[in-house]
């Protein structure tokens, strides 16, 4: 097995964890290939770009946290090959284990005693008159929110061609089940099991309290657009990155991406166990 390795070079402890992972994988007889910035961190000169790494490796180990996982997924081009997250610190929602469990992780890879959790991805297209559409991919969410102004903004959302609502809010989130534990949760959205075939539309700080989150099936096409031309540009973000301005008459179309992400899960680890840990719920 050829394991592609990506690390967050700015994470304290990343270099030590990276060297340890390399040693353990080598002892287990697994070949390693490194993303360029990751290779530089440990003094290697054979690092690869994200897309080249995605083609070369059989699976991937990402060292950092949930944010590192999101960035790695984007750089790897939304690969469908298995991706394992090794959290430097406490266990995250997207990661498979912590850096204290690297030996157990390598043993699971060698023995094949792991499973994968299939995660829906979002495909978002920004459409502007007179320009080529711009396409983006997200694991957690896409957000259309107010820009530099501190005021509420007016925007519309439609579902599969039918108007859902005119919102007066700080913005709106369209999230996958995976993203239900991220920004959408902070904005009051529901928790959703990763295997549910749905999206959640969550307004951010709406002016009217009756404007609540809505769950729709993941075959729906969701369209977002500004309503008021006098309010200035809004900001569109994808998993907290790729921030671009959205102006009057722009449209954002959001739908299920054709590919999925396969997250590695070690035995005894689950979404529900992560919920209990991260949210301090009762349970063993």
Q: Which residues are annotated as a binding site for NAD(+)?
A: 66-67, 140-141, 151, 168, 170, 181-186
Question: Could you tell me the two tokens for 264?
Answer: 């590695």
- Does residue 66 have an active-site annotation? yes
The residue among 18, 138, 158, 130 whose CA lies nearest residue 78 is 138
Tally of CB atoms within 10 A around 116: 17
Helix (H, G, I), strand (E, B) or coil at 139: coil
Query: 23, 40, 46, 66: which one is catalytic?
Result: 66
Helices (H), the chain: 14-27, 36-41, 50-56, 66-75, 102-111, 183-186, 271-278
Tally of CB atoms within 10 A around 71: 18
Distances (CA, A) of 125 to 133, 162, 238: 6, 18, 11
Distances (CA, A) of 117 to 95, 206, 219, 264, 269: 11, 33, 20, 6, 11
| Catalytic machinery residues | 66
């Amino acid at each position: 097995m050829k394991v592609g390795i990506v690390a967050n070079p700015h994470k304290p402890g990343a270099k030590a964890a990276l060297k340890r992972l390399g040693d353990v994988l080598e002892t287990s007889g697994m070949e390693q290939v490194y993303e360029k910035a990751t290779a530089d961190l440990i003094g290697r000169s054979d690092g690869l770009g994200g897309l080249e790494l995605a083609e070369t490796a059989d699976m991937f180990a990402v060292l950092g946290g949930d944010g590192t996982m999101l960035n790695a997924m984007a750089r790897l081009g939304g690969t469908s090959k298995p991706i394992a997250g090794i959290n430097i610190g406490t266990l995250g929602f997207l990661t498979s284990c912590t850096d204290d469990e690297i030996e157990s992780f390598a043993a699971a890879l060698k023995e094949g005693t792991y499973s994968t959790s299939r995660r829906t991805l979002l495909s978002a297209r920004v459409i502007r008159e007179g320009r080529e559409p711009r396409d983006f991919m997200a694991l957690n969410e896409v957000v259309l929110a107010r820009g530099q102004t501190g005021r509420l903004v007016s925007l519309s959302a439609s579902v599969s061609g039918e108007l859902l609502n005119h919102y007066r809010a700080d913005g709106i989130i369209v999230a996958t089940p995976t993203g239900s534990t991220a920004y959408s949760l902070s904005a009051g959205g529901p928790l959703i099991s990763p295997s549910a075939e749905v999206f959640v539309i969550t307004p951010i700080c709406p002016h009217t309290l009756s404007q609540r989150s809505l769950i729709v099936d993941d075959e729906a096409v969701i369209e977002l657009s500004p309503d008021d031309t006098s309010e200035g540009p809004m900001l569109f973000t994808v998993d907290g990155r790729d921030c671009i301005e959205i102006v009057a008459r722009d449209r954002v179309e959001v739908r299920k991406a054709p590919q999925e992400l396969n997250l590695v899960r070690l035995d005894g680890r689950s979404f529900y166990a992560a919920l209990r840990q991260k949210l301090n719920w009762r349970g063993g």
